[in-house]
A and B are shown apart, each in its own frame.
Chain A
Amino acid sequence: MPRIEQLPAVLDTAAARPLADMLRERLTESEPLLLDGAAVTQLGQACLQILLGAQQAAKAREIALSVRNPSEAMIAMATLAGCADLVAEAEG
């Protein structure tokens, strides 16, 4: 069973550090990880690059990591930022 983490509603610059800390800790556990984005209303660049970095690291460590249930706001911001695949992967 993959571990599920709820992403907070606001993923702005202030949220980047707790998000990075959480993901760094989870990635040391070598368990599949699902990030639930249903509550996300705001996604900024600082958190976006943390998510991208975590995705790369998970891939390099062969740990399954994906975003599920991304909110419309999250999809819209990720699409705007040119990384729709970050959230699209989870949908598929």
Chain B
Amino acid sequence: MDLDAIQQMFFLESEEGLQALESCFALCREGADDAETINTIFRAVHSIKGGAGAFGHEQLQTFAHHYESVLDQLRSGGLAMTPALLDVLLAAFDKLADHVAAAQGERATPDDSAVLAALAAAGEAKAEPAPAPAPAAEPANTPVGDDFDALLGLLEPEASAAAPTGGDDFDALVGLLDLDATASVAPSSHVSVRPSGNAFANGSEPLLLIRELARMGGTNIALDASALPPFDEIDVQRSYLAWTLEMPADVTREDIEAVFEFVDGWQVEINQGESAAPAAETQKPEVVAEPADAQTTVAAVIDAPTPAPAPVAPKPATPAATPQADAPAAAAASATIRVELEKLDRLVNLVGELVITQAMLAQRLSEHGLSGTSELTSLENLTRELQDSAMSIRAQPMKTVFNRVPRIIRELESDTGKRVRLQLDGEMTEVDKTVVERIGEPLTHLIRNAVDHGIERPEDRIAAGKPEEGVLRVAAEQRSGRIVITVADDGRGIDRARVRAKAIERGIVAPDVNLSEEEIDNLIFAPGFSTAETVSNISGRGVGMDVVRRNVQALGGRIGVSSRFGNGTSFTLSLPLTLAVLDGMIVKVGEQTFVIPLGNIVESLRALPGQLSYLSQDAAILDVRGAQLPVLRIGSLLGIPAQSDPDKTVMIVVESDAGPAVMMVDTIEDQRQVVVKSLEANYRAVPGVSGATILGDGRVALILDVDGVMIRARQRPALAA
């Protein structure tokens, strides 16, 4: 594994760490700030700091270091959790997330000076008097690569007790690192570190990790330069040095291992509870031994392949244990593995092929009267099970989306002055990765909309007899093979009179049209509709809800709204659990077979005499219980010879962006789940067609994109009213 891949792993784990932090802070907000929760927060920040150090992300590391210092005080009881401290920790958490994003190159380095000052102030407010002044004045944004400035960060308030007081920072630093000055500290573990031979690859700096150990209280740092070859033979790209250190009693093995979590091929030995005496083989640089023999033994270790991504093997049984002895333990350490998405997609794709082949086999066997064989039934069951298993590998909990919500709420509270209590339910509901990735944007918009337009200001809520704090509930649940996401607030609800007036003003509806409450509510999804008095940067740009609906529909989903004026609004998103398979109605038009997504279908019926009115030879209207719906004749629209006699056709009422419509097809053949094949990837995008599938008899059936068909129809106005 190269360094870039390991760094990528660090970023992934940082994201997971941030998610864990969000969950823990949610508990803290509910008052459940027990020792375990605080410890989890500390470890997550500590782990991010360690990785940042390994990859030279100085600013992230420095920020995490200050954050961790306050968390450490909280963990050790030096600070008590208060609402004010929680606010500081949350602000620091958001800033930490920004720093992680900056380290990934996703954004500019954030200005963290205000948060660092707040952290410093929080740290100074500890219960017992601080033994030495805290280095609160440390530069907020340490220049990248400025090792000396960052090194001064070693001067911890707590560590400074061991350092000479009264001197300047540099004296204190040297005192901290001086062997004699720290002799009174009782170390509990002896750590030896030998970076891998290629430890400088991609600009990595092994000394940063030694510095990190020093920051954690490491002392008696001794250099082992015995592997250094004669000067003329030194390869400048190769690492030859090693170090031993003593770590204090309160630094656990896990803390030390976390420092080396993201480096590969290093030899790290941690011997706990042993004598603090330096290892016999270490020596001062001025008495460097003749290197000839040592070089070969070290080189052998450097070149040994590492068995697992985690470079730090568990503690060997004895200090003399060989690297090979560590391998099985390292392999057994984790019950999960990371798999490239591409490999997973290939697996899912192959399973899809298998489902199609199985359907073709079943069809072929049925043609020969062998459809009822038990082997075929077993194959069908196994295939279905395999498909479910493959899809479940891609499934992710909604938690990955929901974890972003608290921050959005915090920012909205800050921007609007409103107070919102967030209630998240169903975080562990699993849904396909693609859906998880694409639902974030519409969900964010709904949430912003709910706080901006729905929930009232505290004074307005009190005046309305409501609690000062509004409630926003975001929930996910699986229902009938779909995921249903609800965003509900207890705000002012939809003012239908105002919505109707605004819709008339904008020409969205005619002034004389009678609209039901549901129809008025749905006007907010109309393109260009916005009731915001002022356009804010939160929502109200008038490009919101129609985009939300379009995004949801692009995912094969639907969005609904229900509201009670004065009591709140609830948006409900119903989405398929996966985009790789689709429930569809198989229909025939002439000789061609099509699939209409079930998500779009409202009902199907045969037109009775008088129900169908022709506006012209091609354009017709169907009267469905008083509603006049345009009829889309699929055959005519796609240029396929098809039935046109109403007695011999089926009318399928569908819901689309542009409202309800009717698709006229020859027959309905079946209703089943189909495996979706991309048309873009295999051919090219075709307007009105969202993909293709292969039927049991081997024929290809196109999957109709109802909205696309409507657009095609509009371009030929004679076909639709």
- Is B195 among interface residues, defined by CB-CB distance under 8 A? yes
Report the minimal beta-carbon distance from A74 to chain B, rounded to whole angstroms.
8
- Is A48 among interface residues, defined by CB-CB distance under 8 A? yes
Question: Does B221 lie within 8 Å of A76, measured CB to CB?
Answer: no
With A48-B207, A72-B170 known to touch, is A85 a contact of B148 (CB < 8 Å)? no
Alpha-carbon distance between A73 and B173 when the two chains are bound, in angstroms? 11
- A 50-89 contacts with B by CB, 8 A: 50, 52-57, 71-73, 75-77, 79-83, 85-86, 89
Question: Does A13 lie within 8 Å of B151, measured CB to CB?
Answer: no
CB neighbours (8 Å) of A17 from chain B are 236
Q: Please, how many residues of chain A have a CB less than 8 angstroms from a CB on the other chain?
A: 39
Question: Does A55 lie within 8 Å of B285, measured CB to CB?
Answer: yes
Alpha-carbon distance between A26 and B231 when the two chains are bound, in angstroms? 13
Least CB separation from A58: chain B residue: B231
- Is A12 among interface residues, defined by CB-CB distance under 8 A? yes
Q: Please, how many residues of chain B have a CB less than 8 angstroms from a CB on the other chain?
A: 41
Question: Does B200 lie within 8 Å of A81, measured CB to CB?
Answer: no
Question: Does B284 lie within 8 Å of A85, measured CB to CB?
Answer: yes
Alpha-carbon distance between A31 and B659 when the two chains are bound, in angstroms? 91
Question: Does A16 lie within 8 Å of B211, measured CB to CB?
Answer: no
Question: Does A16 lie within 8 Å of B221, measured CB to CB?
Answer: no
Question: Does B231 lie within 8 Å of A53, measured CB to CB?
Answer: yes
- Is B232 among interface residues, defined by CB-CB distance under 8 A? yes
- B 440-473 contacts with A by CB, 8 A: none
- Is A27 among interface residues, defined by CB-CB distance under 8 A? yes
- Is B612 among interface residues, defined by CB-CB distance under 8 A? no
Point out the residue from A41, A44, A57 that lies within 8 Å of B207, measured CB to CB: A44
Point out the residue from A45, A54, A57, A86 that lies within 8 Å of B200, measured CB to CB: A45
Point out the residue from B221, B232, B237 that lies within 8 Å of A81, measured CB to CB: B221
Question: Does A42 lie within 8 Å of B148, measured CB to CB?
Answer: yes
Question: Does B234 lie within 8 Å of A50, measured CB to CB?
Answer: yes
Alpha-carbon distance between A86 and B241 when the two chains are bound, in angstroms? 15
Point out the residue from A12, A49, A79 that lies within 8 Å of B205, measured CB to CB: A12
Question: Does A82 lie within 8 Å of B222, measured CB to CB?
Answer: yes
Point out the residue from A10, A13, A20, A72 that lies within 8 Å of B234, measured CB to CB: A20
Alpha-carbon distance between A45 and B200 when the two chains are bound, in angstroms? 9
- B 197-254 contacts with A by CB, 8 A: 199-200, 203-207, 210-211, 214, 221-223, 225, 228-232, 234, 236-237, 239-241, 243
Alpha-carbon distance between A41 and B170 when the two chains are bound, in angstroms? 14
- Is B30 among interface residues, defined by CB-CB distance under 8 A? no
- Is B288 among interface residues, defined by CB-CB distance under 8 A? yes
Alpha-carbon distance between A49 and B232 when the two chains are bound, in angstroms? 12
Report the minimal beta-carbon distance from A27 to chain B, rounded to whole angstroms.
7
Alpha-carbon distance between A14 and B200 when the two chains are bound, in angstroms? 10
Question: Does A24 lie within 8 Å of B232, measured CB to CB?
Answer: yes
- Is A35 among interface residues, defined by CB-CB distance under 8 A? no
Question: Does B243 lie within 8 Å of A81, measured CB to CB?
Answer: yes
Report the minimal beta-carbon distance from B213 to chain A, rounded to whole angstroms.
10
Point out the residue from A45, A46, A52 that lies within 8 Å of B288, measured CB to CB: A52
CB neighbours (8 Å) of A33 from chain B are none
Alpha-carbon distance between A86 and B285 when the two chains are bound, in angstroms? 8
Alpha-carbon distance between A56 and B207 when the two chains are bound, in angstroms? 21
CB neighbours (8 Å) of A27 from chain B are 231
- Is B177 among interface residues, defined by CB-CB distance under 8 A? yes
- Is A34 among interface residues, defined by CB-CB distance under 8 A? no
Question: Does A52 lie within 8 Å of B206, measured CB to CB?
Answer: no
Question: Does B225 lie within 8 Å of A73, measured CB to CB?
Answer: no
CB neighbours (8 Å) of B243 from chain A are 81-82
- Is B145 among interface residues, defined by CB-CB distance under 8 A? yes
Question: Does A72 lie within 8 Å of B148, measured CB to CB?
Answer: yes
With A55-B285, A56-B288, A77-B148 known to touch, is A13 a contact of B231 (CB < 8 Å)? no
Question: Does A80 lie within 8 Å of B205, measured CB to CB?
Answer: no
- Is B147 among interface residues, defined by CB-CB distance under 8 A? yes
CB neighbours (8 Å) of A85 from chain B are 284-286
Alpha-carbon distance between A12 and B200 when the two chains are bound, in angstroms? 10
- Is B174 among interface residues, defined by CB-CB distance under 8 A? yes
Point out the residue from A43, A50, A72 that lies within 8 Å of B236, measured CB to CB: A50
Q: Could you list some 26 contacts between A and B, CB below 8 A?
A: A10-B145, A12-B205, A13-B205, A13-B236, A17-B236, A23-B231, A41-B147, A44-B205, A44-B207, A45-B239, A46-B237, A52-B241, A56-B228, A73-B151, A76-B148, A76-B152, A76-B170, A77-B148, A79-B173, A80-B211, A80-B214, A81-B210, A81-B223, A83-B225, A83-B284, A85-B285
